[in-house]
Amino acid sequence: MFTDMVGFTSSAQRHEAEALELLREQEQIVRPIVGEFGGREIKSTGDGFLIEFSSALRAAECAIEILTRLHDRNAAEQAHPIRLRIGVHVGDVESRNSDIFGDAVNVAARILTAAEPEGIALTEQVVPHLHNRLAFPVESLGTRDFRGVERPVPVYRVVLPWSGPGQVSVVRLYPRVAIMPLRNISPDPNDAYFADGMTEELISVLGQVRELRIISRSSVDRLKGQDRPIQDIGRELGASAVLEGSVRKAGDRMRISLQLVDVASQEGLWTQTFDRQLNDIFAVQAEVGERTAASLRVRLLGSERTALTRPLTNNLAAYGLYLQGIHELHLPRKDNAKAVGLFRKAIEEDPSFAAAYAHLASQLVGSIGETSSAREVVPEARNLIAKALDLDPQSSVAHMAKANLAMQGDLNWAIAEAEFRRAIELNPSDADSRLWYSLLLRALQRYSEAAEQLRTVIELDPLSRGAFALLVSVMRLTGDLEGAEQFTRSSLQGFLTPQEFHTTLAYSYSYGNHADEARQEIERASSLGGVTLDLVVIKAKFGDPGGARAMLEEAERKAVEGYVPLLNLASLAASVGDADKAIAYLEKDFLDGDRGLWFTYQGISFDPIRSDPRFVRLLERYNLPTSAPFFRWGRAT
């Protein structure tokens, strides 16, 4: 926490003795309050302090108390007010010779400048720790650029009784819960699927509570098996509470031991062991949801309570197959085909199992243009979605699948958007629906909305490579190439292999036709071995089409024997300037129903044919914008 005395320098220039007296009085007021809240004074900054706290909550409470006491004091001493501004940030620091150093200190100092006189500015890292714990609301001030900080910083303020008018929007502070992969302690190692499936089900069940935000499974899975302190987990995942435990399954009985831990205090909010029959599994899930909500002081709506207590199926054999399918999707090398088979078997066991229909449909729709053609899967997927929604209209997974089918199969953007929004309404913590929705918004060139969804995805899935990569792509498409480069280096690099990292930078440079920088990154990526579609497309843009031609010829040979996405063939053909072949592949892709151009039409591979009337007519058939509004597409020189 940094504090700063407003107007001290100018006051000292006018009346030095009076200003110094006010400074001493300010110190006499502030120092005891800091001690009351367990703060450690690191140093005086002349007219303010740098102070360290054990938690963000204690820092915010201390800041409020300081400003409240000074406000009361100023009411009585109106002629000589003492007005502070305060900035609070959470981050790692290095202690050295009784001082602290690090980027977190720099950010805290900068955030101070965003606070109004007698106000408190917070970074987004602080906000999750304050839910339902302050007497005052918190308000978003949008993002700010600060000198010495690489990228824009989301800024918030505490709305105190004397605060000025709001500038952006009031923020609802939802508790962020990380449900860690449950440990399998069953005597049979083959029962690992049960613990894994239970983790997914708890994430899904609690995700339906509107006033909770549940960290995505893909992020918590990256910490699976690591013996990490709760505070480390909370900091890495941005969680204010962590739910952890173990599962033991033996015959028709189960024992599930769980504890919910507050990250800031490391205190257990509740701990319980459920020793039950397997057929009580849904009652256990409901109780966990209710206890977690109560512990975090979250009010359950009637519809949420109903959703928590509604069993997915009364057939334990079907539920076991369903959990095995979920398990397959979350293995390090997930087996989609095996998962699809298990969902089919679950439906055979219980033809009224809505969740199995929904997950099967979602997997089929997701395979379009990747491993399957639309003709193969769309008719079945459409029937499965209709069945799932008939059985359970509140299924967020089924609504997401319906949205994806409307987007990818039907190019009906209005229905797709309505269904994505419905899926998100039913499960606000569903990062997958938000990620897909951001793709729709990007395709329609609604870039600011796409970026907003992606930032929410990153909050819910902070270790998601896909969300970070898509946010970089949105930055490129708005012409913010410097921001795309900085974000790649500061946030995305940790998710990429060295070759992917240099290819990503080359791709960003290629959007602005920065030929020299792009070529340098191409050389670095090429030296690391392996040939990728992105790399050969970038090389073609900058005068070396050989790799793209060779990849196109190889892909065409493979297409004779098996499925190869036509979109890839079109992309390669366009990148080497073969407009006729590229358009032919795109036309066939459209007629076959795969219709993937909406996803890639803004990419550099189509620059050589972007003004071709046939390409423009295709975009019109897709109901897509036919030009990019933010910057001019160009050819490399």
Q: What integer pLDDT is reported at residue 62 of this predicted model?
A: 94
- Mind listing the pLDDT tens digit for each residue in 123-154? 888 887 786 677 788 888 877 777 777 667 88
Rg of the chain on CA atoms, in Å: 28
Residue 595: strand, helix, or coil: coil
Q: What integer pLDDT is reported at residue 508 of this predicted model?
A: 87
Q: Could you say which DSSP state residue 299 is in?
A: P
Round to the nearest angstrom and report the end-to-end CA distance of the chain: 50
- Mind listing the pLDDT tens digit for each residue in 412-433? 999 999 999 999 999 989 999 9
Q: What integer pLDDT is reported at residue 168 of this predicted model?
A: 46
**Share of residues in the chain with pLDDT > 70 (%):** 95
pLDDT (mean) for 152-179: 74
114 backbone dihedrals φ, ψ, rounded to 5° = -85, -10
Residue 408: strand, helix, or coil: helix
- Mind listing the pLDDT tens digit for each residue in 226-270? 888 888 888 788 888 899 989 998 888 889 899 999 887 788 888
Q: Which two tokens stand for residue 629?
A: 């509004």
In residues, how long is the chain?
Answer: 637
Strand partners of residue 138: 158, 171
Is residue 165 very low, low, confident or very high in pLDDT (cuts 50, 70, 90)?
A: low
Q: Are 52 and 98 in contact (CB under 8 A)?
A: no
Give the rounded distance of the alpha carbon of 316 from its chain centre. Answer: 34
Label the pairing between strands 2-5 and 94-96.
Answer: unpaired
Query: If 0-12 CB within 10 Å is exposed, 13-18 middle and 19+ buried, where does residue 280 land?
Result: middle
- Mind listing the pLDDT tens digit for each residue in 191-235? 888 888 888 888 888 888 888 889 998 888 888 878 888 888 887
Label the pairing between strands 176-179 and 213-214.
Answer: parallel
Q: What integer pLDDT is reported at residue 132 of this predicted model?
A: 64
Ramachandran quadrant class, 530 (left: phi over 0; alpha: psi -120 to 50; beta: rest): left
Is residue 338 very low, low, confident or very high in pLDDT (cuts 50, 70, 90)?
A: very high
Would you say residue 434 has pLDDT above 90?
Answer: yes
Q: What angle do CA 57, 61, 63 make, to 5 degrees?
A: 115
Q: Determine the Cα–Cα distance for residues 232 and 13; give it in Å rounded to an integer.
A: 47
Is residue 584 very low, low, confident or very high in pLDDT (cuts 50, 70, 90)?
A: very high
Q: Determine the Cα–Cα distance for residues 297 and 201; give it in Å rounded to an integer.
A: 22
H or E segment to which residue 85 belongs:
strand 84-88
H or E segment to which residue 241 belongs:
strand 241-250
Q: What integer pLDDT is reported at residue 151 of this predicted model?
A: 67
- Mind listing the pLDDT tens digit for each residue in 466-521? 888 899 999 888 888 888 888 888 778 778 889 989 999 998 888 877 888 989 99
**Amino acid letter for position 313:** T
Residue 216: strand, helix, or coil: coil
603 backbone dihedrals φ, ψ, rounded to 5° = -75, 160
Question: What structural domains does the chain harbor?
Answer: 2-171 (3.30.70.1230), 174-311 (3.40.50.10070)
> Minimal CA–CA distance to 569: which of 551, 546, 542?
551
Q: Determine the Cα–Cα distance for residues 112 and 171; give it in Å rounded to an integer.
A: 20
Residue corresponding to tokens 């990728």: 532
Residues 6 or more apart whose CB falls under 8 angstroms from that of 25 comprise 82
Q: What angle do CA 519, 521, 524 make, to 5 degrees?
A: 110
Q: Determine the Cα–Cα distance for residues 8 and 46; give it in Å rounded to an integer.
A: 10
H or E segment to which residue 338 belongs:
helix 336-349
Give the rounded distance of the alpha carbon of 502 from its chain centre. Answer: 23
Is residue 632 very low, low, confident or very high in pLDDT (cuts 50, 70, 90)?
A: very low
Q: What integer pLDDT is reported at residue 616 of this predicted model?
A: 93
260 backbone dihedrals φ, ψ, rounded to 5° = -105, 125
More confident residue, 3 or 10: 3
pLDDT (mean) for 277-297: 83
Angle between helix 447-460 and 465-477 (nearest 10): 160
Residue corresponding to tokens 């790649």: 488
Q: Could you say which DSSP state residue 490 is in?
A: I
Q: What integer pLDDT is reported at residue 637 of this predicted model?
A: 30
Q: What integer pLDDT is reported at residue 631 of this predicted model?
A: 45
Q: Could you say which DSSP state residue 392 is in?
A: -
H or E segment to which residue 178 belongs:
strand 176-179
Residues 6 or more apart whose CB falls under 8 angstroms from that of 516 comprise none
Q: Are 213 and 178 in contact (CB under 8 A)?
A: no
